[in-house]
């Protein structure tokens, strides 16, 4: 496969069998990782090459999911490719993620939570990506991924409250139930004031009062 070519098993997560050799030569291998469960073809794309797989000069693109509860990149141990014999290594390895629905959140910010650059294992005629060393720092209820759970996340939640469908973490649907509702508000309330450090934002009384008022208003809306 030459420059500009791309190999991508399945429409979503899938499996591909190659009879014979696979030479990636300047092409791209796009592999989706849907979850960290580790089951090839189900949790992530998987390619089986009967004879020789040569990754030399090929780019490996890892398509990773948006943040969500229960997704732990550090747990990832995904065999992406198995070959009769394996030669060459991927150069470069890039990480892509879907455009967050909250347009204020940069996809590169989401991708930055994954660091698989030095996590590829080529032993045993297999290509395996392991998340060991990847620190997942997305915190519950941090919708805008700025390492603090504060009034800005409350604003995101309020703006999307009771909106159904097309929701993701960055629109405050923390449990990915398809609606932003009182359960997501509870997640926010339970984590309100969390920060990775650097001082602010410790919740001030006025902010907490605002949260309480906002929460009560949201619950009233839900009951209507």
Binding interface with Ca ion (CB under 5 A)? 9-10, 14, 32, 45, 142, 144, 146, 148, 153, 173, 175, 177, 184
Kindly give, in sequence order, each residue whose CB lies less than 8 Å from that of residue 31, ignoring residues fewer than 6 positions away. 8, 9, 44, 45, 47, 60, 61, 62, 63, 80
Nearer to Ca ion, 164 or 213 (CB): 164
158: left (phi over 0), alpha (psi -120 to 50) or beta: alpha
Q: Phi and psi for 195 in degrees, rounded to 5? A: -155, 155
- Residue of closest CB approach to Ca ion: 177
Answer whether 34's CB lies under 8 Å from 66's CB. no
Q: How far apart are CB 174 and Ca ion at their closest, in Å?
A: 6
Joined tokens for residue 69: 């509860």
Nearer to Ca ion, 104 or 132 (CB): 104
Nearer to Ca ion, 85 or 190 (CB): 190
Q: How far apart are CB 135 and Ca ion at their closest, in Å?
A: 18
Nearer to Ca ion, 134 or 171 (CB): 171
Rounded-to-integer distance, Cα 195 and Cα 124, Å: 42
Q: How far apart are CB 167 and Ca ion at their closest, in Å?
A: 7
Q: How far apart are CB 90 and Ca ion at their closest, in Å?
A: 17
């Amino acid at each position: 496969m030459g420059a500009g070519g791309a190999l991508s098993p399945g429409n979503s997560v899938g499996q591909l069998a190659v009879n014979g050799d696979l030479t990636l030569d300047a092409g791209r291998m796009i592999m989706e990782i849907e979850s960290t469960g580790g089951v090839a073809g189900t949790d992530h794309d998987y390619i089986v090459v009967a004879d020789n797989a040569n990754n030399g000069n090929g780019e490996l693109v890892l398509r990773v999911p948006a943040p969500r509860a229960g997704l732990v990149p550090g747990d990832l141990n995904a065999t992406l490719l198995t070959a009769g014999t394996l030669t060459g290594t991927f150069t470069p390895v890039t990480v892509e993620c879907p455009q967050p629905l909250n347009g204020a959140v940069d996809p590169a910010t989401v991708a930055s939570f994954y660091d698989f650059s030095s996590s590829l294992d080529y032993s045993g005629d297999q290509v395996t990506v392991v998340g060991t060393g990847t620190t997942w720092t997305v915190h519950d209820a941090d919708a805008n991924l700025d390492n603090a759970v504060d009034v800005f996340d409350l604003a995101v939640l309020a703006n999307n409250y009771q909106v159904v469908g097309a929701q993701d973490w960055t629109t405050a649907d923390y449990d990915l139930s398809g609606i932003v509702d009182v359960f997501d508000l509870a997640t926010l309330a339970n984590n309100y004031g969390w920060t990775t450090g650097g001082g602010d934002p410790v919740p001030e009384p006025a902010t907490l009062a605002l949260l309480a008022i906002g929460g009560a208003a949201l619950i009233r809306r839900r009951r209507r």
